[in-house]
Amino acid sequence: MSAAHSVDLGPSATITTSTIHRGLDQRHREQLFCISSVQTCRAKAVIFHEGDRSKHLFEVLDGVVKLYRLLPDGRRQITGFVYPGQVFGLDRSHVHTATAEAIVDARLCGYPLAKLELITEELPEFALGLLRMITNELAAAHDHMLLLGRKSATEKISSFPLGLSDRCRDEGEDSMMLHLPMNRANIGDYLGLAIETVSRTMTWLRQIGVIELHQRHDLRILDHDRLSVLAEEDASILAV
């Protein structure tokens, strides 16, 4: 992580919000504590670059991280947003396939991969839990591929808050009032759309009473059922 934008707080013995540690007994939790460290990074700090050697698995404790790749023509494609309780940094051949950057001030827990592999050999149940987390991320990546390749602009933008709503519901949070730490340029880069298209479509969704926008980063879903229909069908037959 960039020393100018991050602070290493050392062993993570005070972690209480880690998803990775849940379900382990005290001895095994202490094993993870000994190899891990908590790092804070400011908004826009780069955690690692595409092409860097993969040395750590990271878990987001607070904040949101975006993963992106630069295309040959210079455009940026955001491949995912990583939220608290989710992991990132485990890439094929120990080389990062994307750049990771904090969207807002974030707190991360890092685990050296070499030491983590030893613990997974000793703790099959921990390895299975980690595998489930990574499998969930792969499923999300597949859903994102479908979103990019098969859906219209309106379907894409309608699907985006629905995905966030599902995550909030799973976490026991308000699934209708959403905080969007990313700006519309980030949303466009994630959905493969121009920022003008994102702004125009979100304005249209607001005008037809499907969503309500609050300030710059808050959105309320007013009509979840209709938003779900818009996410799956051609909006031209639904406009009023």
Kindly provide the b/e burial profile for residues 87-106, where b requires at least 16 CB atoms within 10 angstroms of the residue's own CB.
bbbbbeeeebebbbbbbbbb
User: pLDDT digits over 182-227, tens only?
Assistant: 999 999 999 999 999 999 999 999 999 999 998 888 999 999 999 9
Q: Does the model's pTM come out above 0.85? A: no
Same domain, 83 and 180: no
Residue 71 lies in a domain: yes
Q: 127 Cβ partners below 8 Å, 6+ apart?
A: 120, 121
> What digits encode the pLDDT tens for the residues 34-73?
888 999 999 999 999 999 999 999 999 999 999 999 988 8
Number of independent structural domains in the chain: 2
CA distance 164 to 180: 9
Looking up residue 200, the CATH number of its domain turns out to be 1.10.10.10
Kindly state whether residue 28 falls inside one of the protein's structural domains: yes
Q: What is the mean pLDDT of the chain?
A: 84
Q: Judge whether residue 235 has pLDDT over 50.
A: no
